[in-house]
Amino acid sequence: MIAAFSVTPLGVGEDVGEAVAAAVRVVRASGLPNRTDAMFTSIEGEWDEVMPVIREAIEAVKTYSNRVSTVIKIDDRAGVTDGLTRKVATVERHLAGSAED
């Protein structure tokens, strides 16, 4: 599965970069495939691997604020591995004009 999530501390002002970095640090330390962009961090693995990492990331952000907002989107598809790379590669092939999947 791939889980894309965003964790934001509330009530700490506009600059949340340090708190978000704490969450991303947890994800990167997990050893699971992951990517971070301007809006979400995506992590790939089995449910029992991914969900504890997200929970730990939320706990890391809670050290900056008593209130945390979390958004999670999950793509749980059996038999798929390397989805973080393959999904993007498929889109790039279509953008390049190749219809091959």
Sheet holding 41-44: strands in order across? 34-36, 41-44, 2-9, 68-75
Chain Cα centroid distance, residue 79:
20
- Residue 22's closest CA among 95, 12, 2? 12
Closest CA to 82 of 35, 20, 12: 35
The pTM assigned to this predicted structure is: 0.87
Q: What is the pLDDT of residues 33-67, one digit of tens each?
A: 999 999 999 999 999 999 999 999 999 999 999 99
Task: Single out the residue of 66, 52, 38 nearest to residue 3, CA to CA.
Answer: 52
CA distances from 26 to 46, 50, 62, 79 (A): 17, 11, 13, 26
Q: Residue 98 above 80 pLDDT? A: no
Question: Model confidence over 69-78: pLDDT tens digits?
Answer: 999 999 998 8
For residue 101, pLDDT over 80 is answered with no
Q: d(Cα 25, Cα 16) in Å, to the nearest integer?
A: 14
Confidence band (pLDDT; 50, 70, 90) for 83?
Answer: confident
pLDDT range class, residue 100, cuts 50, 70, 90? low
